[in-house]
Amino acid sequence: MTRVLIVEDRQSLREMLEEFLGGKYYVFSSESAEDAEKHLVHYPDIVLCDLRLPGKSGIDFLSVVKEKCPESEVIIMTAFGDIPTAVEAMKKGAFDFIPKPLDLNFLSVLIEKAEETISLKRKIETGRQTFDFLGESLVFKNTLSLGKKYAESDMPVLITGESGTGKELMARFIHANSPRKNQGFVAVNSSAIPENLFESELFGYSKGAFTGAQNSKKGLVELAEGGTLFFDEIGDLPLPLQPKILRLVESGEYQRVGGEDFLKSDVRFIFATNRNLKAMVEKGLFREDLYHRIASFTVNMPSLRERVEDIPVLADYFMQKVSEEMNAEPLILTDEILEKLKKREWKGNVRELKNLVEKWVILGKIVFDDGKEQYSDRIDIQIFPDKDFKDYSEEFEKKLLSFYLKKHKGNRLAVAKELKMNYKTLLSKLSRYGL
pLDDT tens track for 177-227:
999 988 888 888 888 777 888 888 888 887 776 666 666 677 888 888 899
**Which domains, ranges and CATH numbers included, belong to the chain?**
3-125 (3.40.50.2300), 138-300 (3.40.50.300), 304-374 (1.10.8.60), 389-433 (1.10.10)
Count of other CB atoms within 10 angstroms of residue 119: 15
pLDDT at 131 over 70: no
Cross-strand pairs, 73? 46
pLDDT at 121 over 70: no
Cα–Cα distance measured from residue 281 to residue 18, given in angstroms and rounded to the nearest whole number: 51
pLDDT at 371 over 60: no
User: Given pLDDT bands bounded at 50, 70 and 90, which one contains residue 26?
Assistant: confident
pLDDT tens track for 219-258:
888 888 899 999 999 999 989 999 999 999 999 988 888 8
Report H helices in 229-379.
Answer: 242-251, 277-282, 288-294, 311-325, 335-342, 349-363
Residue 132 confidence (pLDDT): 56
Cα–Cα distance measured from residue 316 to residue 383, given in angstroms and rounded to the nearest whole number: 20
Instruction: Please state the pTM of the whole predicted model.
Output: 0.59
CA 99 to chain centroid, in Å, comes to 34
CA 288 to chain centroid, in Å, comes to 33
pLDDT tens track for 135-188:
889 999 899 999 999 999 999 999 999 999 999 999 999 998 999 988 888 888
Across 118-142, average pLDDT: 66
* CA 186 vs CA 222, 231, 298, 365, 409: distances in Å: 10, 9, 20, 38, 48
Please name which of 31, 41, 34 lies closest in space to residue 3, comparing C-alpha atoms.
41
Residue 110 confidence (pLDDT): 92
